[in-house]
């Protein structure tokens, strides 16, 4: 099938493509939706899919035969097999109970333990309560931005060995933020540099990996990072130091922009808002 862009485009509230995630507003085009359909069920990554950093094949795939596409709304279901399976319905336009019903029905049919519906809301809209809400944010880099890395932030690999060794304990404490997984990738030499801030002789905060990738239009983007500071060291400016060092790294390595999703009202969300990032809208995830 092919999407009718004159049906789909008017109901896209946030530049977000199923299985790909947020995209730069300037790249939002029918080709992106056609691209994700073209690889559905193959396990292949599109060249601009950031998920290829973490796996050898694409897990989440569109269930093409179950797409509901009309002039009023579009429902795009996907299934991911990792874990116990997740069935997601991406909702473009009004859907009400129809999206939840479709997600529940398809989850049962595909043996997925989790069913959810994802809706989108513009930057000036109020996302629904009772759901997990993230804000999509855009940071644009300009040639005039300084590329100096903030001191005392340094790559983990450049820390003295006894200090570098404390990253394992740091990562273990922030397992829920993804750092245990990241540490494993670092040990395997599979990722770019990770920036860290230290207090005394141990790592207390980190951001990374620092990597870029071209988007569907050929522009270089700074990819999202894991980002965290130990609870007892928050409120001392370490998060801002790390953030600014990461942005300096992106500018120095030719990135045009970065897209982020931050938990609404969380520390990273407040930091990004304070740093002047542009809000592109909200993503609301309702588990069924």
Residues 93, 157, single domain; the answer is: no
Residues 114, 10, single domain; the answer is: yes
Q: What percent of the chain has pLDDT over 70?
A: 97
Question: Domain residues for 17?
Answer: 5-135
Q: How many residues does the chain have?
A: 288
Kindly state the tokens that stand for 274: 């304070």
What pLDDT score was predicted for residue 148?
Answer: 53
Q: Which residue has the higher pLDDT, 131 or 61?
A: 61
132-161 burial: b if 16+ Cβ within 10 Å, else e = ebbbbbbbebeeeeeeebbeebbbbeebee
Q: Residue 149 pLDDT more than 70? A: no
Q: Residue 87 pLDDT more than 90? A: yes
- Has residue 66 been placed in a domain? yes
Residues 48, 158, single domain; the answer is: no
What pLDDT score was predicted for residue 254?
Answer: 94
Q: Residue 173 pLDDT more than 60? A: yes
- Has residue 114 been placed in a domain? yes
Residues 62, 153, single domain; the answer is: no
| Average pLDDT, integer, range 91-95 | 91
- Has residue 283 been placed in a domain? no
Spatial neighbors of 15 by CB under 8 A, at least 6 apart, are: 22, 23, 24, 25, 27, 28, 136, 280
- Among residues 135, 151, 173, the one where a domain terminates is 135
Kindly report the number of other CB atoms within 10 A of residue 3's CB atom: 18
| Average pLDDT, integer, range 118-138 | 93
Q: Residue 145 pLDDT more than 80? A: no
- Among residues 76, 111, 135, the one where a domain terminates is 135
- Among residues 82, 102, 135, the one where a domain terminates is 135
Residues 234, 150, single domain; the answer is: yes
| Average pLDDT, integer, range 97-124 | 95
Residues 82, 171, single domain; the answer is: no
| Average pLDDT, integer, range 78-97 | 93
Residues 155, 70, single domain; the answer is: no
Kindly report the number of other CB atoms within 10 A of residue 201's CB atom: 11
Residue with tokens 């193959």: 42
- Has residue 281 been placed in a domain? no
What pLDDT score was predicted for residue 157?
Answer: 96
- Has residue 272 been placed in a domain? no
Which of 102-111, 120-129, 141-150 is the least confident region? 141-150
Number of domains into which the chain is organized: 2
- Has residue 103 been placed in a domain? yes
pLDDT in tens, 183-203: 999 999 989 999 999 998 999
Residues 74, 131, single domain; the answer is: yes
**Predicted model pTM:** 0.92
What pLDDT score was predicted for residue 200?
Answer: 87
- Has residue 12 been placed in a domain? yes
Q: Which residue has the higher pLDDT, 144 or 84?
A: 84
Distance CA 184, CA 78 (A): 28
What pLDDT score was predicted for residue 151?
Answer: 64
List the CATH number of the domain containing 218.
3.40.630.30
DSSP at 257: E
- Has residue 37 been placed in a domain? yes
Residues 96, 149, single domain; the answer is: no
Residues 103, 194, single domain; the answer is: no
Mean pLDDT of the chain: 94
Residues 110, 220, single domain; the answer is: no
Residues 129, 152, single domain; the answer is: no
């Amino acid at each position: 099938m092919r999407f009718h862009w004159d049906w789909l485009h008017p109901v896209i509230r946030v530049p977000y493509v199923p299985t790909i995630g947020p995209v730069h507003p300037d790249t939002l085009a029918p080709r992106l939706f056609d691209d994700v359909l073209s690889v559905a069920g193959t396990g292949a990554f599109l060249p601009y899919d950031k998920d290829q950093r973490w796996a050898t094949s694409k897990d989440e795939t569109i269930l093409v035969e179950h797409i509901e596409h009309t002039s009023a709304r579009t429902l795009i279901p996907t299934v991911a097999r990792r874990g116990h399976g997740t069935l997601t319905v991406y909702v473009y336009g009004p859907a009400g109970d129809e999206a939840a019903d479709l997600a529940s029905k398809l989850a049962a049919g595909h043996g997925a333990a989790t069913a959810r519906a994802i809706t989108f809301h513009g930057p000036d809209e109020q996302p629904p309560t009772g759901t997990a809400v993230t804000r999509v944010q855009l940071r644009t880099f300009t040639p005039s931005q300084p590329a100096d890395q903030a001191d005392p932030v340094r790559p983990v690999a450049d820390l003295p060995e006894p200090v570098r060794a404390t990253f394992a304990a740091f990562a273990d404490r922030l397992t829920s933020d993804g750092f245990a997984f990241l540490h494993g990738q670092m040990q395997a030499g599979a990722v770019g540099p990770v920036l860290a801030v230290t207090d005394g002789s141990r790592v207390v905060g980190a951001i990374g990996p620092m990597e870029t990738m071209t988007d569907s239009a050929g522009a270089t983007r700074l990819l999202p990072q894991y980002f965290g500071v130990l609870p007892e060291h928050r409120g001392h400016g370490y998060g801002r130091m790390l953030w600014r060092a990461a942005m300096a790294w992106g500018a120095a390595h030719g990135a045009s922009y970065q897209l982020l999703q931050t938990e609404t009202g969380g520390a990273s969300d407040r930091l990004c808002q304070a740093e002047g990032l542009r809000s592109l809208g909200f993503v609301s995830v309702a588990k069924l």
